[in-house]
């Protein structure tokens, strides 16, 4: 599918509960390019015992957050793989302006399309409060990201395990997570907003409507980036 389309290098921004992970995977499937979740590649690096993964593990074992330098190196390593040559969709990176600047340097002159999925706080709290995960495999179900199953709604659609609420999805914790997200990402959104390849999409809609708006925003942003030869700082 990606052979007859120009390269797409896409960042999907949005707060917890915006559905960005679901939409990122949907776009990636449609384009035939990888959806790269920083949570997943961090776990892979740690699990595989790569040099950068061992550095990340040492940080996490101390109860500290993985810093920009480690995350930048992990993402750079992932983007060098052959399956990302035709493009990629990034979910969870960048989270800071320092990471965004490093990503620009990785792009070697190519244009980045940046889509911010915007959802009101009250809707995010509702969604996150109804979100469930599988106690066995950790897959997300319920709320906005429910994919199934057609059968028992108390069972995981992937492995059949029992669905439970995440411990950090109670309202007080959710509100704090949203405040942290806003503090951390407001400068990042402003960093990208001035670019012709930046778009915002209303995420407080049914998933199919959001997907349609995302597709339109990607096409418009890609065309704007091509017209200007790629936006560089």
Domains of the chain: 2-119+185-227 (3.40.50.300)
* Residue 115 exposed, middle or buried by CB count within 10 Å (0-12, 13-18, 19+): buried
pLDDT for 225? 84
Rounded to whole angstroms, the Cα distance separating 159 from 211 reads 26
Residue 20 appears among annotated catalytic residues: yes
Residue 166 appears among annotated catalytic residues: yes
Write out the chain's pLDDT in tens, 233 residues. Answer: 444 567 899 999 999 889 999 999 999 999 999 999 988 888 888 888 888 888 888 888 887 778 899 999 999 999 999 999 989 999 999 999 999 999 999 987 568 999 999 999 999 988 887 778 888 887 776 544 444 444 566 788 778 888 887 666 678 888 888 888 888 888 999 999 999 999 999 999 999 999 999 999 999 999 998 876 544 44
Residues facing residue 164 across a β-bridge? 133
Rounded to whole angstroms, the Cα distance separating 200 from 233 reads 20
Instruction: Pick the catalytic residue from 25, 126, 155, 166.
Output: 166
Instruction: Pick the catalytic residue from 20, 31, 127, 195.
Output: 20
Residue 95 appears among annotated catalytic residues: yes
Instruction: Pick the catalytic residue from 25, 95, 126, 158.
Output: 95
Does residue 136 contact residue 156 with C-beta atoms inside 8 Å? yes
Residue 177 appears among annotated catalytic residues: yes
Instruction: Pick the catalytic residue from 31, 55, 127, 131.
Output: 131
pTM attached to this predicted model:
0.80
Rounded to whole angstroms, the Cα distance separating 52 from 71 reads 9
Instruction: Pick the catalytic residue from 5, 126, 155, 177.
Output: 177
Rounded to whole angstroms, the Cα distance separating 145 from 108 reads 34
């Amino acid at each position: 599918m990606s052979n007859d389309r120009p390269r797409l290098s896409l960042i999907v921004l949005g707060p917890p509960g915006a559905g960005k992970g679901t939409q990122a995977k949907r776009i990636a499937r449609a384009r035939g390019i990888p959806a790269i979740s920083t949570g997943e590649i961090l776990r892979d690096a740690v699990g595989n015992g790569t040099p950068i993964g061992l550095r990340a593990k040492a940080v996490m074992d101390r109860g500290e957050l993985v810093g920009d330098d480690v995350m930048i190196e992990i993402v750079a390593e992932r983007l060098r793989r052959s399956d990302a040559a035709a493009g990629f969709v990034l979910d969870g990176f960048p989270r800071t302006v320092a990471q965004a600047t490093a990503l620009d340097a990785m792009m070697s002159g190519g244009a980045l399309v940046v889509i911010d999925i915007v959802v009101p706080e009250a809707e995010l709290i509702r969604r996150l409060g109804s979100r469930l995960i599988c106690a066995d495999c950790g897959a997300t179900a319920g709320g906005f990201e429910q994919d199934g199953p057609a059968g028992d709604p108390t069972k995981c659609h992937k492995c059949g395990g029992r669905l439970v609420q995440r411990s950090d999805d109670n309202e007080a914790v959710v509100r704090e997570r949203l405040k942290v997200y806003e503090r951390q990402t407001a400068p990042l959104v402003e960093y990208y907003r001035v670019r012709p390849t930046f778009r915002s999409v209303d995420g407080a809609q049914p998933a199919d409507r959001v997907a349609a708006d995302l597709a339109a925003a990607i096409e418009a942003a890609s065309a704007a980036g091509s017209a200007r030869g790629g936006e560089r700082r």
